[in-house]
Structures are given as structure tokens and as C-alpha cells.
Amino acid sequence: MTEEPDRALARSFLAGDPVALRALWDAHGRSVYGFALRCLRSHHDAEDVTQQVFVRAWRSRATYDPERGRAGAWLMGIARHQVADRLTARNRDNEVMDRAARAGVDLAGSHGRPRGVPDHVVEAVVVADELNRLPPQQRTVVRLAFFDDLTHQQIATLTGLPLGTVKSHLRRGLERLRRRWEVDGVAPRS
């Protein structure tokens, strides 16, 4: 892209034009995905991170200043943060699994493989997808509470989080899931 089309695209993007977002995806999506894949070595994680980068870019587009740099560089900065977050979450999940193993707690059903998977495949996919949208600590706490049937105190011990933080993560995670399911029409409104 030349400088003038870049500026026009930046103006459209900042104004909230979804066509501009699509143009940014077309121009930079492959490089963001390639970067994420090289760092994470997982196609699934790289796809997730790439999507998160563009969602985050769209939501925080007001922070983009085309005078300070090109959109591609801004997107790669977001990608670096998303990759770092994903690697941190992986390390945290591994640490929880290690602590659980040392404590003699069976977590074989966690991390996307809950015990008692719903009979209906679509329901299971929706649940897994929505859980994966939660922030890493909320996701871990919800999974430990509901799929591994651990008490709040057990979760606090395993994760090293204060009991109040565990309760807050659980409450916020469940509220976020409820809102998402109501918005998407997955769950009936109460």
C-alpha cells in the first residue's frame, strides 16, 4: 500500500468502518497469524490469537494514531501482547496441573475435556467456545469449579490465588457467560 491509501484506510478504520477492518485483515492477517504460529507452535492458538488481535484492534481503534506509525506495526504490537498473554496462560495452566498432581487431585477432565460432556455436540461446542473467551484466570477457576468439582478453597490452594479472588473470578466468569449466552440466544433469559 502506498502512503495515501494507508491514510485513507486509517481514517475509515478510526471512523468505525467495518470495510476498513476487513481491508486491514486482508493486508495484515497473514503476517499476524505467521508471527503467532512461530511463537506458539499451534495452529489453533495462532488462529485464536489472530482473531483476538483484530477484535482488540477494532475495540481499541481510538488508541491508534496513524501519525505515530503504520497500522501493520500497531497490529503487530497488539499481537506481541496477545502472544505473551497466551504463553503466560499456558504456563499458569501447567503450574495448576503440576500443583494438582502433587496434591493428588485428578484434573483429567479439565482444559476442554469436562467430565459429563453434554450429549448434544453443539451444546458442548458452544460451552467450550464460550469458556475459551473468558480471561485465563476466570476460565481456569470456572473449569476447576464446575468440571472438576473443586471447592473454592481447593481452587485457591491449587492456583495460589486468595479465596476472595477465586470467588470474584468465578462470579465474574459466570456472569460473563450468562450475558454472552443471553445475547447469542443460547440460554433462556431468566
Residue 126 lies in a domain: yes
Q: How far apart are CA 53 and CA 29, in angstroms?
A: 9
Here the CATH number for the domain that contains residue 37 is 1.10.1740.10
pLDDT of 126 reads 61
The answer on 69 and 118 residing in a single domain is no
Residue 93 lies in a domain: no
pLDDT of 116 reads 37
Q: How far apart are CA 143 and CA 159, in angstroms?
A: 12
The answer on 137 and 66 residing in a single domain is no
Q: How far apart are CA 7 and CA 69, in angstroms?
A: 11
The answer on 75 and 121 residing in a single domain is no
Pick the last residue of a domain from 87, 114, 132.
87
Residue pair 78/49 in contact by the 8 Å Cβ criterion: no
pLDDT tens for the chain, residues 1 to 190: 455 677 888 999 999 998 999 999 999 999 999 999 999 999 999 999 999 999 899 989 999 999 998 999 999 999 999 999 888 888 776 666 666 666 665 555 544 433 433 344 445 556 677 788 889 999 999 988 888 788 999 999 888 899 999 999 999 998 888 887 665 444 444 4
The answer on 51 and 20 residing in a single domain is yes
pLDDT of 91 reads 77
Residue 99 lies in a domain: no
Here the CATH number for the domain that contains residue 139 is 1.10.10.10
Residue pair 159/151 in contact by the 8 Å Cβ criterion: no
The single-letter DSSP state of residue 62 is G
Residue 25 lies in a domain: yes
Residue 151 lies in a domain: yes
Q: What is the DSSP string of 125-177?
A: HHHHHHHHHS-HHHHHHHHHHHTS---HHHHHHHHT--HHHHHHHHHHHHHHH
177: domain range?
106-184
Q: How far apart are CA 30 and CA 70, in angstroms?
A: 16
Residue 11 lies in a domain: yes
Residue 92 lies in a domain: no
In degrees, rounded to 5, the angle at the alpha carbon of residue 87 between the alpha carbons of residues 85 and 137 is 60
Amino acid code (one letter) for 124: A
The answer on 55 and 117 residing in a single domain is no
How distant is the alpha carbon of residue 3 from its chain centre? 33
The answer on 83 and 11 residing in a single domain is yes
How many folded domains does the chain comprise?
Answer: 2
pLDDT of 6 reads 77
Alpha-carbon distances of 128 from 65, 66, 141, 165, rounded to whole Å: 36, 37, 14, 23
Residue 96 lies in a domain: no
